[in-house]
Amino acid sequence: MPEVEVYTARVGEFDFEVRVHPGRTVGGADVLLLHGFPQSAASWELVSDRLGAHGVRSFAPEQRGYSPGARPGDIASYRLPELRADIVGLCDALGLDRVHLVGHDWGAIVAWDVAARYPARVASLTAVSVPHPAAFAWAREHDPVQAERSGYMSFFQQPDAPEELLLADGCAGLRAGFGDAIPADLVARHIARLSEPGAMTAALNWYRAAGDSWSAVPDVRVPTTFVWSDADLAVARSGVDATAEHVTADYRLVVLEGVSHWIPEEAPESLAQIILGRIGSP
């Protein structure tokens, strides 16, 4: 298999690291993979390998706060409009006119928003684990189960204490949160990234800057697949079911049984096949 290349893409004043798995475009678009928290672009390694085995090229950036060259210190720099603009800017910098956009966890939130606001740039959307942001916001407000599962978000918005807890004892809490389903080398790469100076604070600033922006994300008008796993401890079924109301194009819901929240690392073969099915590649 061709070797993975790492590029630096300049977007405004920031430099983003981007891992590129060689291959071809599909339907005039490349696959762009957006990671979540507390992960890194390495979360897509196993999926990208499988896409590459089918000859499909993919790009996996380290997002704002994770790339050392794109790590501003203020909370306001991590609002959803800034995160969205990064992705459009990355597409411009990488020469990607249209993409098959894939996002997991926080990457899914950003992917939903980009797909909703820039449909001409998005050939298809595959959102993983997290529902459409407006559906998720509704579930957090109206479903006691989702409200309870989202309790950690309020903690993450506090100053200092989350960093201290998550970085303590060599990130022992993060390691426990990933469980045994994720390969140890990928866990080590996630932790190494978040242990860099300022990285954990930058990643947590995504939560601190969120406000009520999720409710304002428009409906999506591009072909969309939403992938959810029934053993996800963070996302309840209510927001999953409500997501269909926010997609006006072809929509598919795929439920993976017995898989945790960490779908890209735990079920890469299944996820790769779902992505290939959405983008129309054999």
Is a pLDDT exceeding 80 seen at residue 281? no
pLDDT band, residue 143 (cuts 50/70/90): very high
Is a pLDDT exceeding 70 seen at residue 1? no
pLDDT band, residue 130 (cuts 50/70/90): very high
pLDDT band, residue 132 (cuts 50/70/90): very high
Least confidently predicted of 1-15, 117-131, 158-172: 1-15
The CATH architecture to which 5-279 belongs is: 3-Layer(aba) Sandwich (3.40)
Q: In the predicted model, what is the mean pLDDT of residues 91-117?
A: 98
Q: Are strands 99-104 and 122-128 parallel, antiparallel or unpaired?
A: parallel
The whole-number pLDDT of residue 181 equals 83
pLDDT band, residue 3 (cuts 50/70/90): confident
Positions marked active-site: 105, 207, 261
Let me know: does 68 contact 22? Beta carbons within 8 Å. Answer: no
The whole-number pLDDT of residue 192 equals 97
pLDDT tens by residue, 186-200: 999 999 999 999 999
The whole-number pLDDT of residue 2 equals 62
The whole-number pLDDT of residue 53 equals 95
pLDDT tens by residue, 207-239: 999 999 999 999 999 999 999 999 999 999 999
Question: Residue ranges of the domains in the chain?
Answer: 5-279
The whole-number pLDDT of residue 35 equals 98
Amino acid at position 90, single letter: L
pLDDT tens by residue, 149-183: 999 999 999 999 999 999 999 999 899 999 888 99
Distance CA 262, CA 246 (A): 24
pLDDT tens by residue, 18-76: 999 999 999 999 999 999 999 999 999 999 999 999 999 999 999 999 999 999 999 99
The whole-number pLDDT of residue 97 equals 97
Which pair of structure tokens corresponds to residue 247?
A: 């997609």
Distance CA 200, CA 52 (A): 31
pLDDT tens by residue, 243-263: 999 999 999 999 999 999 999
